[in-house]
Amino acid sequence: MEKIVVVTGANSGIGLALCDRLLSEDGRLRLCLACRNMKRAEAARTALLACHGDARVDLLHLDVGSARSVLSAAEELKARYRRMDFLYLNAGIMPNPTVDIRAFFKGLFSRNVVNMFATAEGLLTQQDQLNSDGLQEVFATNLFGHFLLIRELEPLLCQPGHTSRLVWTSSSNARRSAFSIQDIQHRRGKEPYSSSKYASDMLSMALNKHKNQQGLFSSVICPGLVMTNLTYGILPSFFWTLIMPIMWLVGCSALYLFTSNFNLKPRLTTSPSRHTDPDFHQHFHAYAVQRSRGTGLYPAGVFRVHTSLRPGLRRGVNTNSCSGLSQHWLFLQKPESLDPRAKYQSLTSGLGTNYTEPRRVSNVCPRQILL
């Protein structure tokens, strides 16, 4: 039976890489790219079809940050499909990020340095704003829109005798201390991204508690640090190139021997693309660097330097880290074998091999959320 898979935020970065990986895995897949910008979605579809000629790739307009758009996208999905096997809740934003340079240098010489690089704790703040629904944009996009979509799609996701899967793209930046039940949308704080990702971890657990018996299973993944439009929004690409040696040094530090949560997978594009369409360049060069060979997905002139850093051991050059996406790993697992309270992390071994490992979600979840 063909699997029906929907990916939100599929037109670039991790979402697009996931689509490519899934199509390589299963030729009979029916894939739906749910994106807010149809021009970019169309370009992503064209790029995917250039690699997977006979694939079935549908497009759907979905702005997860708008309740109205979510409701109409859900109606459209119910009209198109009779069930849904996988729903990847991947779209996400980190608006106006600021790196605290002082905290960075302070952290660099502290015992917390590895944790700082792995989780960005204390380093990163964002400036949020209200969206047209009157909600905080970060929570609306990273959490509420996806939750509304799940609720609206229950007729497709909770079918008798059939299991369906939800996979949230969370983050190592998710932190309980950034979340407050008194300020659910993080209106008053400066870390809405961290807070929204923690809330999605909690929501996934709550969904497991309430929906597993109806055949709906939810998992959370953490992709590590991946060079995409989101990370290029934090620092420009030349800056990333500059700080790579620091990251490498941190990785090599002895501290790593005593910690197990440090995982950086920097993927860099070092030379400017000669591609003439700026939109194409913006949305494809981050993805193109993840492809191992010059396939149709490469914009002409894009240079790939793709390094996997496994600190403490050696610098492994891995040309296709996409194969290590934990979203893809989850696609291959039986839902009954998964831990409903785990966060599945993409990791890279000292020899450069990608693998996925479950970790307990940070701290015990607040009872209020799970009830």
Ligand X SMILES: CC(C)=CCC[C@@H](C)[C@H]1CC[C@H]2C3=C(CC[C@]12C)[C@@]1(C)CCC(=O)C[C@@H]1CC3
Tell me the CA distances in angstroms from 194 to 140, 208, 274, 281, 338, one per residue in order. 14, 22, 36, 28, 24
Q: Residue 15, Cβ neighbours under 10 Å: how many? A: 24
Contact partners, residue 203, CB within 8 Å, separation at least 6 = 143, 147, 168, 369
- Residue 266 binds ligand NDP, judged by CB under 6 A: no
Q: Please report, as residue ranges, which positions from 322 to 361 form the binding site for ligand NDP (by CB under 6 A).
A: none
The residues in 69-98 that bind ligand NDP, with binding defined as CB under 6 A, are: 90-93
Q: Is 64 in the site for ligand NDP (CB under 6 A)?
A: yes
At residue 258, the 3 state secondary structure works out as: helix
Write down the least CB distance from residue 337 to ligand NDP, Å. 24
Characterise 260 by phi-psi region: left (phi > 0), alpha (psi -120 to 50), beta (else). alpha
State yes or no: is 193 an active-site residue: yes
| Closer residue to ligand X in complex, CB, 224/299 | 224
| List of residues contacting ligand X (CB under 6 A) | 99, 101, 104, 117, 119-120, 123-124, 171-173, 225, 231, 234-235, 243
- For residue 197, the one-letter residue type is K
Q: What Cα–Cα distance (Å) separates residue 342 from each residue in 75, 204, 212?
A: 31, 10, 15
Decide: 13 and 33 in contact? Cβ < 8 Å: no
Helix-then-strand count for the chain, H and E: 14, 15
Least gap, CB of 237 to ligand X (angstroms): 12
CB of 159 to ligand NDP, least distance (A): 26
Instruction: Please state the closest distance from residue 142 (CB atom) to ligand X, in A.
Output: 10
Question: With CB cut-offs between 5 and 8 Å by kind, which of ligand NDP, ligand X, none does residue 228 bind?
Answer: ligand NDP
Q: Which stretch binds ligand NDP (CB under 6 A): 74-82, 176-184, 225-233, 248-256?
A: 225-233
Contact present, 311 and 253 (Cβ < 8 Å): yes
Minimum CB distance to ligand NDP, residue 236 (Å)? 15
Which residue, 47 or 230, has its beta carbon nearer to ligand NDP? 230
With CB cut-offs between 5 and 8 Å by kind, which of ligand NDP, ligand X, none does residue 62 bind? ligand NDP
Residues 4-33 that bind ligand NDP (CB under 6 A): 8-9, 11-15
- Most distant CA atoms of the chain, gap in Å: 57
Tell me if 138 sits within 8 A of 146, measured CB to CB. Answer: no
The site for ligand NDP, by CB under 6 A, has a size of 30
Complex with ligand X: residue 164 or 321, whichever CB lies closer: 321
Which of ligand NDP, ligand X, none does residue 120 bind (CB under 5 to 8 Å by kind)?
ligand X
* Cα–Cα distance measured from residue 322 to residue 303, given in angstroms and rounded to the nearest whole number: 17
Q: Is the dihedral of CA 237, 38, 197, 338 positive or negative?
A: negative
Choosing from 88, 193, 198, 344, the catalytic residue is 193
Nearer to ligand X by Cβ, of 217 and 344: the residue is: 344
- When binding is defined by CB under 6 A, the residue of 119, 126, 136, 141 that contacts ligand NDP is 141
Take residue 134 and report the two structure tokens written for it: 């009157």
Residue type, 280: F
275 binds, among ligand X, ligand NDP, none (CB under 5 to 8 A by kind): none
* Residues at the site binding ligand NDP, with contacts judged by CB under 6 A: 8-9, 11-15, 35-37, 40, 62-65, 90-93, 141, 169, 171, 223, 225-226, 228-231, 283
